[in-house]
Amino acid sequence: MPSLENNTTSDLVNDLEVIRKHLGVTRWLVAGGSWGTTLALIYGIKYPESILGFILRGIFLGTAAEYDWLYSQAGAAGFFPEYYRDFAAQLPDCKDSNILADYYEVLTGANEIAAIAASKAWCLWETRLSSIEHHHIEAHHIEDAHQALCMAKISSHYFINHCFVDEGFILAEIDKIKAIPAIILHGRYDMVCQLRYADKLVQKWPNAQLQILPKAGHSGFETQTIDGFCKAAETMASFITEQRSNDK
């Protein structure tokens, strides 16, 4: 099982910088999706001199409102009430306001059977929200207990701790990376990470380009998202090559 010791956003950011130096890379293009965008942005804010550019998919800024959207009845649950009932049913004694904390307690508790059941419910909820084709996703699709437990345990660890950053940190510090180019992809029908947060980000980031994918949700495996990411990589590669030529 994954260890939660020495496992914070700051630890991961520092790990990335250690890897960059170990590989002998002067600057690199940083890409990420969902929580990966949070990590990429925080890494860039701390080490802007290490970044050539960003390709980000499904912006998540790590704010309280985003956690509420995912885990309270007032958010995505309003669009998928039957799926949320399945999610909440795993913790029958839980109050809505405490569902994240209660899930974390079970996922990190000593009862392995309960933890596995909770992890499958956790992953099923997010998987159903992630795809436009959500109506095809049933409980039996979450088969790998080890993978589900790793995903749910680490996700809840970060979310219960608000990703180990102050509220509003990314937008407050965005000026540190405002000169760095970025292509941001976001599905119009993303029900995990709301489009509004990608829009807020680009309003404060003049060198960021937001591409709204009209037939995509949150999943990185939908056709339009894959195509958009490949094109973004080609665009960014051409831009970086041109910039290097101009610098000579």
List, by residue number, the catalytic residues.
34, 190, 218
| Vertex 177: Cα angle to 174 and 179 (nearest 5) | 120
In this structure, the number of other CB atoms found within 10 A of the CB of residue 73 comes to: 14
* 3-class DSSP assignment, residue 54: strand
Rounded Cα distance between 152 and 155, Å, is 5
User: Residue 44 and residue 140: Cα distance in Å, rounded?
Assistant: 39
Q: State both tokens at 111.
A: 């009862």
Whole-angstrom distance, CA of residue 30 vs CA of residue 13:
12
Q: Are 83 and 106 in contact (CB under 8 A)?
A: no
CA distances from 175 to 46, 99, 181, 238 (A): 12, 35, 13, 25
8-state DSSP, 239: H
Identity at 102, one-letter amino acid code: D
Q: Provide CB contacts within 8 A for 73, sequence distance 6+.
A: 84, 96
